[in-house]
Amino acid sequence: MIGALRALGRKALGFCERLGRAHVFLAYTLLGVPESLYRVRPLFYQVYAVGVLSIVITVVSGLFVGMVLALQGYNTLVDFGAANSLGIMVALSLVREIGPVVSALLFAGRAGSALTAEIGLMKTTEQLAAMEMMAVDPLRRVIAPRLLAGVLALPLLATIFSAVGVYGGYFVGVGLLGVDEGAFWSQMQTAVDFQNDVLNGVFKSVCFGAVVTWIAVFEGYDTLPTAAGISRATTRTVVNSSLAVLALDFVLTALMFD
């Protein structure tokens, strides 16, 4: 009993300590962000690595999600004679919710895990220690551009996801199920508000990008320098950032669309 309590206490303390370390890490990394803006080449490379290389998975997923949304939505709407509103349903679901969230989950799996493994391996092979010994701060040189790249890339990916999803919905709704094309687009245009729906969605994905990339780079930096350590860190990145995205989504949605 006492042993279990002690183990629980140790776990809780360990968690708090790690959380504290993650925040100190973030603070020092943020100090390096302005400098990263001037080092254009490494930043572009990182945006390419986490963003451009994630486009294929984002586009394919967006297409299928849009198509499924149209199928499901049509079946419900047609019972109420509101099949012409399919465009609204597809677009609102995507830009407000599914686009930012699903693209963030995909981003955590595709780019987040890669970031963790890369930085973890740099630590294991003493590359980060070597930088410190050359009086170069790895937080500024390695971590800051990656964090910034994640924050820049995810909103763009989420936007691509939503745009492709809308077209997926269009193909199924208009092409397959016979919804009127004019009604599909015009109702969407009328009902979807740029500021309240689209921009709020983009803001969400900026937050998700920051959180997912933060978790990914911290897990890599904080990993045990062994093969098992990197494996655990990569798993933790995907699990923790997915949970963080879903929880944060609830908070942001509650604040934005009350």
Partner 1 sequence: MKEAPGDQPLVRIRDLSFHYGERVIFDHVDLEIPRGKVVAIMGPSGCGKTTLLRIISGQIRPRSGSVVVDGLEVPSLSRAALLALRKRIGMLFQSGALLTDLSVFDNVAFPLREHTDLPQRLIRALVLMKLEAVGLRGARDLMPAALSGGMARRVALARAIALDPMMILYDEPFTGQDPISLGVLLRLVRRMNEALGVTSIVVSHDVAETASISDYLYVISGGRVMGQGTPQTLAETRSEWVRQFLDGSPDGPVHFHYPAPDYAEDLHGGSAAPLVST
Q: Which of 134, 228, 254, 255 binds partner 1 (CB under 8 A)?
A: 134
Using the rule CB under 8 A, is 225 a contact of partner 1? no
Q: In the complex with partner 1, which residue's Cβ is closer, 35 or 181?
A: 35
- Distance between CA atoms of residues 118 and 137, nearest Å: 17
Q: Are 32 and 137 in contact (CB under 8 A)?
A: yes
Which of 143, 174 has the CB closer to partner 1? 143
Residues 4, 24, 133, 228: which binds partner 1 (CB under 8 A)? 133
Q: Which residues of 42-73 are buried (b: 16+ CB within 10 A; e: fewer)?
A: bbeebbebbbeebeebbbebbbebbbebbeeb
Q: Shortest distance, CB of residue 215 to partner 1, whole angstroms?
A: 23
31 binds partner 1 (CB under 8 A): no
Binding mask 112-131 for partner 1 (x = CB under 8 A): ----------x--xxx-xxx
Residue by residue, DSSP assigns 62-101 as HHHHHHHHHHHHHHHHHHTT-GGGHHHHHHHIIIIIIHHH
- Could you tell me the smallest distance in angstroms from the CB atom of residue 111 to partner 1? 16
Q: How distant is the alpha carbon of residue 137 from its chain centre?
A: 26
- Residues engaged in binding partner 1 (CB under 8 A): 122, 125-127, 129-137, 141
